[in-house]
Chains A and B, each alone.
Chain A
Amino acid sequence: MSKETKKPFRQSMAEWRQFIYNPSSGEFLGRTAKSWGLILLFYLVFYGFLAALFTFTMWVMLQTLSSDIPKYRDRISSPGLMISPKPDTALEFYFNKSDAQSYAEYVSTLRKFLESYDDSKQTQNINCTPGRIFDQNDVAVKKACRFNLSELGQCSGKEDKTFGYSKGTPCVLVKVNRIIGLKPEGEPHIKCTPKEEGTVEINYFPPEGLIDLMYFPYYGKSLHAHYLQPLVAIQLAINSNSTKEEVAIECKILGSPNLKNEDDRDKFLGRIAFKVQMTE
């Protein structure tokens, strides 16, 4: 037994119409024009005040920050590794060494990436003492250390404009993420291993994949504008019997006790895995 009998459809439609616009009281959606004006004015003032308050507090907060270094760097205590070129789809390289089109993007990415390492761009950079942390804490103007493209040997793009892709020996650059103030200990170097032994031969430039300590520490974008992070190029010579299959390679940073490379959750902390499949 329902207490309120259902209203006929026409009546409820009429009520709705009445609610949307009531000609007798001039009410639109239950409020008169004046009432709407007042309420909108109120919210204009209210939200205006909140917006101003928000802006002000944000401004105050930003004033407490330094423009040179972030207040906290505890969320990135150890650098991640990354490669260039970076294929769009995950980290998987597919190319045909005899089809220039198939690797054109990799090559152009590499070229673009290495542009900033061009000698012409490094005129302000100085030659630092290899093998030593280049500490510039007391210096107001931080210098950047020169990274010679020739260090990358066959992967420098100077001799081979296709970075080995046309010959079936593709180059991949491995870089260590920039982290302000990071000072690696020991002798950090990149070591790459294929998942299956013997499927691929790997050449390192500079030799042994060495990362020179003189490129550390980094002082941040504004203080250290010309900083170039050290690179390690690896050239893959894929065995012809495994060309049909994907070759999985994992690179790790080794030799430095304060650079992590075995984190359970972060698969890119001091290491990187990628796949290459080359066809002929």
Chain B
Amino acid sequence: DDHKLSTSELEEKYGTSINKGLSSARAAEILARDGPNSLTPPKATPEIVKFLKQLVGGFSILLWIGAVFSWISFGIQLAQGAESAFDNLYLGVVLALVVILTGIFAYYQEAKSTNIMASFSKMIPQQALVIRDAEKKELPADQLVVGDIVEIKGGDRIPADIRLISTQGCKVDNSSLTGESEPQSRSCDFTHDNPLETRNIAFYSTTCVEGTATGIVINTGDRTIIGRIASLASGVGNEKTPIAIEIEHFVYLVAGVAISVGVLFFIISVSMRYKILDSIIFLIGIIVANVPEGLLATVTVSLSLTAKRMAKKNCLVKNLEAVETLGSTSIICSDKTGTLTQNRMTVAHLWFDNQIYSADTSEDQTTQPFDQSSPSWTALSKIVTLCNRAEFRPGQENLPIMKRIVVGDASETALLKFAEVILGDVMNIRAQNKKVAEIPFNSTNKFQLSIHETDDPNDKRFLLVMKGAPERILERCSTIMINGKEEPLDSEKAEAFQTAYMELGGMGERVLGFCHLYLPENEFPDTYPFDTDSMNFPTSNLCFVGLLSMIDPPRSTVPDAVSKCRSAGIKVIMVTGDHPITAKAIAKSVGIISATSETVEDIAKRLNIPVEQVNRREATAAVVNGMELKDMSLQQLDEILCNHSEIVFARTSPQQKLIIVEGCQRQGAVVAVTGDGVNDSPALKKADIGIAMGIAGSDAAKNAADMVLLDDNFASIVTGVEEGRLIFDNLKKTIAYTLTKNIAELCPFLIYIIASIPMPIGTITILFIDLGTDIIPSVALAYEKAESDIMNRRPRNKRKDRLVNEQLAVYSYLQIGIMQSVGAFVTYFTVYAEQGFLPSTLLGVRVNWENNAINDFEDSYGQEWTKYQRTYLQWTGYTAFFVSITIQQVADLIIRKTRRNSIFQQGLFRNKVIWVGIFSQIGIALILTYGLGHVTALNFTPLRFQYWFVAVPFAILIWVYDEVRKLFIRRYPGSWWDKNMYY
């Protein structure tokens, strides 16, 4: 209620004095009570908790179980005194290490992307000019307390919520709070019951554009309006990102397979009279084989690669998972000011000689193309130039005009720049037309007037120029200039003026009228004393020259971006705090409301019937006012969101933005919200992906967002969508690639248990595939180019289009995976057969084979083997199996480049990183077999060279089979084959 109190009441309430301020002691007391004047940062999760989460997330639990089982069996075996007990201890340690290392890796990746953002939240410590102990002091703004007297001037950020007690031409920019782009004047008068609307309060974190003011601090820190909005934002829970949901789904799926196969084979092995201990060891093997240990790390790397790529295109991603979210976005709720528009007033249209001219409103205009030959324009341009108080800050001559900083309000700035572009050096023109008197704009007159000497040395007349609200200007005119000639202003011409005025106003533009009068030389000689208070000069019967209208124009890249969003099936909704008319005009000009579509009101106007009679279904577009929204039920809102494809919400409050976002989410949409102001932050947080503006954005918005557009450009979002869709497709490929070989790792265990053959592949060897040879290739798939134009399809349905669907799992597991297993087993049997153990002798030998006491184990040729000789052969088998999987994974990698197109359409060599992957894969395998083949603990042995080629026919078969699959998918879309084979 502080805005209603008088100054003395305020002094009393806060125990302060306007002249002396608080005493330092009292301030310290209040500071101790209220805390510093700063927003409490959102509660951060402790680092250790973040790290621990990485250690138990995803597959880690399964691996921990594996490790614990290993240690249990180690304990039991140790108690039994078995020699091989320590193998299990080591295995457990290795598994634990895998979990911890991948945990550290994921943590590091996350921390890295968080750090980028940390730099954003660092603010330059703000200073405030405070009166304390009757002295003016510079204090850090966070030391301010309630009751402090502060002084602000143009350019300052308001350091707290302040009740103004004296002002001189003070204007504040409230856009970060309300989204309104126009600066608002501030005075000491109580003008409105609502504290948000009243003139005598300035809010924390808004900026003072011009003028000076003094005020009493009435709220600090979290109790300020901004603070309350910020806490509204932190109250909004963080939703799981779509990709996180997908990955969770995938983890459940794989874990489900691992656990059910594990348990199934545990039961089988127990009922096959294996010892419980052995069965447990099998279970560990099955778990390790089933879990793609390296995959989550790979996904993280792929996401961060995309994040890097997006950062290069000015999309900075705060939360890695948000990289994909844009790709699945189906609705973008975009703020208007600054995102869709340039956030600066620009002259858009002119009206003179009974004609409307369009001006260029693009960002980097250097000339204006409209017809400037008419003498009326010469007159108009003179008024625009002279009747203007705005000035360029000095020292910017080398900057493009549009980028120069101007001192002055938004409209005058627009006019100044407009004049500078067309006429050149405005300051020089003004110097030549010396100003002799001036009445600045005020709200009672609604005009601005100045009187100048002319630059024509022969013309000794004074020129009076005036601009202001068009109807007020017209009232003061008796003539109108047409083609440079003054003609009487008759009703016909006044009608023409009205039409033009309405038309420009209807485009959401702010219109100004311009008129002039050459004062007769005889009445107003050189020495005439102009007095602006008594107005001893004519202010009526002037000559009307023209209209200029201004708007905050859309960015030139936006219309294209909006149409791209449309073809990508993304609905763009404008949500703004601005006026409905302006909002609608901008929406039309950027294509959010397309040229042909109509709102209910448009239809009513066209058919000339009341709005109520219009069939609401006919209207594709809707402009919803915040006031209407307030009275709407959730169902009504849902209906609007459902039935209209083109929607603009105007005059919305922060809470309403939140309601709109929630409404969209109720439709099952993945919602992206863009915004820059503090008022946007709750919606940014609520959205599936919040996008903040990097340049204009407030810190609160950036904190709440998942992504920051460094160039504030809506078009960058389209790039983000494209990258997001691509990474989703590529992650599918990565996962399909990785899952495949898990079957080739699992089958050996199952056949080992059932057929009692010597173990074909060791647990450690499996880890070398999962965390060694396979890593770089699966990351390489993230570099794959899109197969088709991903921007021409609809966003994925988050309920149906899963990352890992049935087809992907079945095709990878039951088809390619099985083929790989067959290939690997052929190699395995070949190695054993060529060393003397024919396949028939291997069946059922497990117990004797693994018996340490049997050292004369007979092979198919009558030779006798010691245990160690058998074990060494077994390791050779491991190596052969490993090499075969690696070779076939090369084929798997190549086929995974595409899901539908032929590899030859996609180009075998276009993605160079794939080849890096293939070479790394083979390189690592070579190092492991030949370089580390003598390290016993790793269970690798140098392998005869020809065994590398046993699986090659199977690798070729995999490739050919997949080409056939894709061919049928392309040939017979919608067929049984397509439905079952396309993943």
A contacts, CB < 8 Å to B: 1, 3, 38-39, 42-43, 46-47, 50, 53-54, 57-58, 61-62, 65, 68-73, 75-76, 79-82, 86, 88-91, 175, 177-180, 218, 220-222, 224, 227, 263, 265-269, 272
Contact = CB atoms under 8 A, between A and B. Distances in A.
A24 B276 CA distance: 46
A68 B863 CA distance: 11
Contacts of A267: 868
B98 interface: no
Contacts of B124: none
Given A179-B863, A221-B862, A61 B829 contact: yes
A265 B936 contact: yes
Interface stretch (B41-49, B815-823, B878-886): B815-823
Contacts of A62: 833, 838-839
Contact of B862 (A43, A47, A218): A218
A266 B866 contact: yes
A72 B835 contact: yes
Given A50-B819, A70-B834, A3 B862 contact: no
B814 A43 contact: yes
B107 to A, nearest CB: 26
A179 B873 contact: no
Contacts of A38: 976
Nearest to B859: A70
Nearest to B240: A3
Nearest to B856: A82
B818 A50 contact: yes
A160 to B, nearest CB: 25
B855 interface: yes
B564 interface: no
A227 B862 CA distance: 10
A-B residue pairs, 10 tightest by C-beta = A221-B862, A80-B866, A177-B864, A266-B868, A70-B836, A82-B856, A1-B237, A268-B855, A71-B834, A268-B866
Contacts of B822: 50, 53-54
B868 A70 contact: no
Contact of A272 (B239, B855, B869): B855
A258 B873 CA distance: 21
A38 B814 CA distance: 16
Interface in B813-849: 814-815, 818-819, 822, 825-826, 829-830, 833-836, 838-839
Given A50-B818, A80-B856, A266-B869, A72 B834 contact: yes
A177 B826 contact: no
Contact of B865 (A43, A61, A177, A222): A177
A75 B869 contact: yes
Given A58-B829, A70-B836, A265 B868 contact: yes
Contacts of A61: 826, 829-830, 833
A60 to B, nearest CB: 10
B460 interface: no
Contacts of A47: 818
A178 B864 contact: yes
Contact of B863 (A39, A76, A81, A91): A76
B828 to A, nearest CB: 11
B872 interface: yes
B855 A46 contact: no
Label chain A's interface by main secondary structure: loop
Given A3-B665, A75-B876, A265-B936, A80 B855 contact: yes
Contacts of B868: 263, 265-269
A252 to B, nearest CB: 14
15 contacts: A1-B237, A3-B665, A47-B818, A50-B822, A54-B826, A70-B835, A70-B836, A71-B834, A75-B876, A80-B855, A80-B865, A82-B856, A178-B863, A179-B864, A268-B866
A42 B815 CA distance: 11
B980 interface: yes
Contacts of B566: none
A263 B872 CA distance: 13
A263 B871 CA distance: 15
Contacts of B239: 3
Contact of A90 (B825, B853, B869, B944): B853
Contacts of A268: 855, 866-868
Contacts of B976: 38
A91 B863 CA distance: 22
B922 to A, nearest CB: 22
A221 B859 CA distance: 10
Contact of B866 (A1, A54, A177, A220): A177
A73 B863 contact: yes
A180 B858 CA distance: 12
B691 to A, nearest CB: 20
B850 to A, nearest CB: 14
B15 interface: no
Task: Identify which of A91, A222, A267 gathers the most chain B CB atoms within 10 Å of its CB.
Answer: A267
A57 B954 CA distance: 10
B861 interface: yes
Nearest to A91: B853
Contacts of B862: 178, 180, 218, 220-221, 224, 227
A73 B838 CA distance: 14
Contacts of A177: 855-856, 863-866
B506 interface: no
B666 to A, nearest CB: 9
Task: Identify which of B818, B866, B957 gathers the most chain A CB atoms within 10 Å of its CB.
Answer: B866
Task: Identify which of B818, B834, B869, B873 gathers the most chain A CB atoms within 10 Å of its CB.
Answer: B869
A183 to B, nearest CB: 15
B953 interface: yes
Contact of A75 (B237, B825, B853, B872): B872
Contacts of A54: 822, 825-826
A80 to B, nearest CB: 3
A146 to B, nearest CB: 19
A57 B953 contact: yes
A12 B818 CA distance: 34
Given A90-B853, A266-B866, A39 B861 contact: no
A222 B852 CA distance: 28
A53 B835 CA distance: 23
Interface string B941-961: 000100000000100010000
Given A70-B861, A71-B834, 16 more contacts: A42-B980, A50-B819, A61-B826, A70-B863, A71-B833, A72-B835, A75-B873, A76-B865, A76-B869, A82-B855, A86-B853, A177-B863, A180-B862, A180-B863, A266-B869, A269-B868
